[in-house]
Chain A
Amino acid sequence: MIREETERPEQVKIVFFPYGKREWFSKGRVSIFSAAKALGIDLSSLCGGKGTCGKCKVKIGEGIKGLNPLTEQELKHITQEEIEAGYRLACQAIPTTSISVYVPERSRVGKQRLQTEGLEVPVKQLNPFVRKYFVKLPKPTLHDFRSDEDRLLDTLNAGYGLSTGLEIDFELGVDLASRLRDADWAVTAVIWKNRIIEVEPGNTSGRCFGFAVDVGTTKLAGFLMDLNTGKVVAVASRMNPQISLGEEVMSRITHQIMEGHKGVKELQGAVVSGINEMIEECCEKVGVEKNEIYELCFVGNTAMQLCFLGIYGRYVAFTPYPPVLRRGVNIWASSIGLTSHPRANVYHAPVIGGFVGGDNVAVILATRMLESDEICMALDIGTNTEIDLGNKNLVMVDSCASGPAFEGMQIKHGMRAATGAIERVSIDLETLEINYRTIEDKPPVGLCGSALVDVPAELLKAGLIDLTGKFVPEMAEKTNRLRRNPKGIWEFVLVLQPETATDTDIVVTQGDIRELQKAKAAMRTGAEILMKRLGEERKETVTEDDISKLFMAGAFGNYIDPENARTIGMYPELPYERVEFVGNIAGTGSRMCLISKEEREYAEKIATTVKYHELAADKDFQKEYIDALYFPHKNLDKYPDTADLLRRLGRIR
Chain B
Amino acid sequence: MNKKAQIFERLRKAVIVGDTEEAVKAAQDVIDTGIEPWKAITEGLAKGMEVVGEKFEKKEYFIPEMLVSADAMYAALNLLLPLLETDETVEKQKVVLGVVEGDIHDIGKNIVKAMLTAGGYEVIDLGVDVPTEKFVETASSDEVKVIAMSTMMTPTLLSLKDVEEQLEKKGLKGKVKTIVGGGTVTEDWRSKIGSDAYGKDAADAVGKVKLLLNQIKAAVELAKKKREKRS
The answer, yes or no, to whether A94 is at the interface (CB within 8 Å) is no
Looking at B6-14, B43-51, B97-105, the stretch in contact with chain A turns out to be B97-105
The answer, yes or no, to whether A1 is at the interface (CB within 8 Å) is yes
Given A318-B156, A616-B105, A630-B64, 7 extra CB contacts under 8 A:
A1-B182, A1-B200, A317-B102, A317-B153, A487-B58, A514-B59, A629-B62
> Contacts A5-B187, A319-B103 given: A468-B154 contact, CB under 8 Å?
no
> Contacts A253-B155, A317-B156, A622-B106 given: A629-B64 contact, CB under 8 Å?
yes
A628 to chain B, nearest CB (A): 10
The answer, yes or no, to whether A257 is at the interface (CB within 8 Å) is yes
A528 to chain B, nearest CB (A): 16
Q: Mind listing 7 A-B residue pairs with CB under 8 Å?
A: A1-B201, A7-B187, A250-B155, A257-B158, A318-B102, A469-B62, A629-B63
The answer, yes or no, to whether A2 is at the interface (CB within 8 Å) is yes
Set of chain A residues within 8 Å of B58, measured between Cβ atoms? 487-490, 510
Within 8 A of A (CB), among B81-109: 101-108
The answer, yes or no, to whether A107 is at the interface (CB within 8 Å) is no
The answer, yes or no, to whether B65 is at the interface (CB within 8 Å) is yes
Nearest-neighbor residue (CB-CB) of B153 within chain A: A250
Set of chain B residues within 8 Å of A124, measured between Cβ atoms? none
B67 touches A2 (CB 8 A): no
**Which of A1, A318, A319, A490 interacts with B108 by CB under 8 Å?**
A1
B106 touches A490 (CB 8 A): no
B64 to chain A, nearest CB (A): 5
The answer, yes or no, to whether A6 is at the interface (CB within 8 Å) is yes
Assign chain B's interface to a size class: 35 or more
B59 touches A489 (CB 8 A): yes
B200 touches A2 (CB 8 A): yes
> Contacts A254-B154, A257-B155, A319-B104 given: A2-B62 contact, CB under 8 Å?
no
The answer, yes or no, to whether A3 is at the interface (CB within 8 Å) is yes
B62 touches A617 (CB 8 A): no
Set of chain A residues within 8 Å of B111, measured between Cβ atoms? 1
A625 to B63 CA separation, bound complex (whole angstroms) = 10
0/1 interface trace, chain B 208-226, chain A, CB 8 Å (1 if under): 0000000000000000000
Set of chain B residues within 8 Å of A246, measured between Cβ atoms? 154
B188 touches A6 (CB 8 A): yes
0/1 interface trace, chain B 129-158, chain A, CB 8 Å (1 if under): 100000000000000000000000111111
0/1 interface trace, chain B 193-206, chain A, CB 8 Å (1 if under): 00000001110000
Number of contacts between A and B (CB, 8 Å)? Answer: 91
Nearest-neighbor residue (CB-CB) of B62 within chain A: A514
Most interface-central of B64, B104, B157 (chain A CB within 10 A):
B64
A1 touches B183 (CB 8 A): yes
Set of chain A residues within 8 Å of B60, measured between Cβ atoms? 470-471, 490, 510
A319 to B155 CA separation, bound complex (whole angstroms) = 11
Set of chain B residues within 8 Å of A468, measured between Cβ atoms? 62, 64-65
A266 to B59 CA separation, bound complex (whole angstroms) = 38
The answer, yes or no, to whether A385 is at the interface (CB within 8 Å) is no
A470 to B55 CA separation, bound complex (whole angstroms) = 11
Within 8 A of B (CB), among A488-538: 488-490, 509-511, 513-514, 517-518
> Contacts A2-B57, A318-B102, A629-B62 given: A254-B155 contact, CB under 8 Å?
yes
The answer, yes or no, to whether B28 is at the interface (CB within 8 Å) is no
Nearest-neighbor residue (CB-CB) of B158 within chain A: A257
B169 to chain A, nearest CB (A): 21
0/1 interface trace, chain B 17-61, chain A, CB 8 Å (1 if under): 000000000000000000000000000000000000000111110
Nearest-neighbor residue (CB-CB) of A616 within chain B: B104
B157 touches A318 (CB 8 A): no
A488 to B107 CA separation, bound complex (whole angstroms) = 26
A251 to B153 CA separation, bound complex (whole angstroms) = 9
- Residues of chain A having any CB pair with chain B under 8 Å: 1-3, 5-7, 246, 250-251, 253-254, 257, 314, 317-319, 468-471, 487-490, 509-511, 513-514, 517-518, 616-617, 622, 625-626, 629-630, 634
B104 touches A617 (CB 8 A): yes
> Contacts A1-B201, A2-B201, A468-B64 given: A622-B107 contact, CB under 8 Å?
yes
A246 to B155 CA separation, bound complex (whole angstroms) = 12
B202 touches A1 (CB 8 A): yes
The answer, yes or no, to whether B166 is at the interface (CB within 8 Å) is no
B188 touches A626 (CB 8 A): no
Nearest-neighbor residue (CB-CB) of B103 within chain A: A319
Most interface-central of A250, A488, A634 (chain B CB within 10 A):
A250
A519 to chain B, nearest CB (A): 13
A625 to B107 CA separation, bound complex (whole angstroms) = 10
Most interface-central of A1, A250, A254, A511 (chain B CB within 10 A):
A1
B156 to chain A, nearest CB (A): 7
Which 6 residue pairs of A and B lie closest in terms of their CB atoms, listed nearest first? Answer: A318-B102, A317-B155, A510-B59, A250-B154, A6-B187, A254-B154
Nearest-neighbor residue (CB-CB) of B155 within chain A: A317
Set of chain B residues within 8 Å of A490, measured between Cβ atoms? 58-60
A276 to chain B, nearest CB (A): 28
A470 touches B62 (CB 8 A): yes
Set of chain B residues within 8 Å of A2, measured between Cβ atoms? 56-57, 59, 200-201
Nearest-neighbor residue (CB-CB) of A511 within chain B: B59
A251 touches B154 (CB 8 A): yes
A319 to B56 CA separation, bound complex (whole angstroms) = 30
B190 to chain A, nearest CB (A): 9
Set of chain A residues within 8 Å of B57, measured between Cβ atoms? 2
Set of chain B residues within 8 Å of A629, measured between Cβ atoms? 62-64
A559 to chain B, nearest CB (A): 27
**Which of B67, B106, B155 interacts with A318 by CB under 8 Å?**
B155
A471 to B62 CA separation, bound complex (whole angstroms) = 12
B117 to chain A, nearest CB (A): 17
A510 to B65 CA separation, bound complex (whole angstroms) = 15
A626 to B110 CA separation, bound complex (whole angstroms) = 13
Set of chain A residues within 8 Å of B107, measured between Cβ atoms? 622, 625-626
A336 to B106 CA separation, bound complex (whole angstroms) = 40
A629 to B58 CA separation, bound complex (whole angstroms) = 17
B63 touches A626 (CB 8 A): yes
Set of chain A residues within 8 Å of B101, measured between Cβ atoms? 318
**Which of A3, A470, A517 interacts with B200 by CB under 8 Å?**
A3
A355 to chain B, nearest CB (A): 12
A6 touches B186 (CB 8 A): yes
A514 to B182 CA separation, bound complex (whole angstroms) = 16
B98 to chain A, nearest CB (A): 14
A582 to B129 CA separation, bound complex (whole angstroms) = 38
A550 to B137 CA separation, bound complex (whole angstroms) = 50
A409 to chain B, nearest CB (A): 14
Set of chain A residues within 8 Å of B157, measured between Cβ atoms? 254
A517 to B103 CA separation, bound complex (whole angstroms) = 22
A509 to B58 CA separation, bound complex (whole angstroms) = 10
Set of chain B residues within 8 Å of A509, measured between Cβ atoms? 59
Set of chain B residues within 8 Å of A626, measured between Cβ atoms? 63-64, 67, 107
> Contacts A3-B186, A317-B156, A318-B102 given: A517-B62 contact, CB under 8 Å?
yes
Most interface-central of B65, B106, B154, B187 (chain A CB within 10 A):
B154
